[in-house]
Amino acid sequence: METLFTTVIALVPRLLDGAVTTVAITLLTAPVAALLALIAGLARLSHVKAVAAAAVVYVELFRGTSLLVQLFFMFYVLPLIGIELSPWTTGVATLALNFGSYGSEIVRGALLAVPRGQIEAALVLHMPPSQVLRRVLLPQALPAMLPPFGNQLVELVKATSLLSLITISDLAFVGNALAQTTGRVTMVYVLLLLIYFAIAYTLTLAVRALERRYGTGATVAGAR
């Protein structure tokens, strides 16, 4: 006789396959998104008007439209104009562009939060601008970015489920398939929720650990 236990045993390995894909997409996308965020955030603060304007266009375009529609556009429309990308490339690129646009505002805010006087102090010490950025601004701005970036990372885990709609066998894709083929709808979706939560919460804890080590709170607490 089939018990609850044996059902779970039967479903979990296949769901875990999907979970591995979800985690892989997240871990591939996050650094690309962070890099885009850094570049766009810095570009917004550039004195060169064209650079700042290009960043504004990018950020507003990707922040102001639906992620799902962006995915479909990249997946269905780009091939029509001769750009053929694999589903994985399409998925990771779209997610990274979308999350990079949100992240750029985090970067911009954190950079602006460093008191201007310190930039002037660095300049009168004859540091070139690149050094001011690397040695004065970023060491103080990066810790301030950690909590909001952690938030974005959890958002990203959940957003990866949209990639199931462009044929990627991630956790949501596998779950949907299992629900249909086994008929165990409740069980499958409960397990799906639990696994998403486990992934997201693990990442949250990881970011908290980073915050304790490098975050603003760490330096304030460590000061006394």
Binding site for other proteins (CB under 8 A): 115, 117-118, 120-128, 131, 135-136, 139-140, 219, 223-224
Q: What token pair was written down for 125?
A: 């010490």
Question: Smallest gap, in angstroms, from Cβ of residue 145 to other proteins?
Answer: 14
Rounding to the nearest 10 degrees, give the CA dihedral for residues 123, 125, 129, 134. Answer: -120
Q: What are phi and psi of 212, to 5 degrees?
A: -60, -35
Which of 120, 155 has the CB closer to other proteins? Answer: 120
For the bound state, the minimum distance from the C-beta of residue 109 to other proteins, rounded and expressed in Å, comes to: 17
- Closer Cβ to other proteins, 27 or 135, answer by number: 135
DSSP codes, 74-119: IIIIGGGGT----HHHHHHHHHHHHHHHHHHHHHHHHHHTS-HHHH
Q: How far is CA 74 from CA 94, 171, 187, in A?
A: 7, 21, 34
Q: Give the separation between CA 196 and CA 192, rounded to whole angstroms.
A: 6
Nearer residue to other proteins within complex by CB, 57 or 125: 125
50 vs 223 by CB, closer to other proteins? 223
Q: How far is the CB of 64 from other proteins (least distance, A)?
A: 32
Supply the minimum distance, in Å, between the C-beta of residue 220 and other proteins. 9
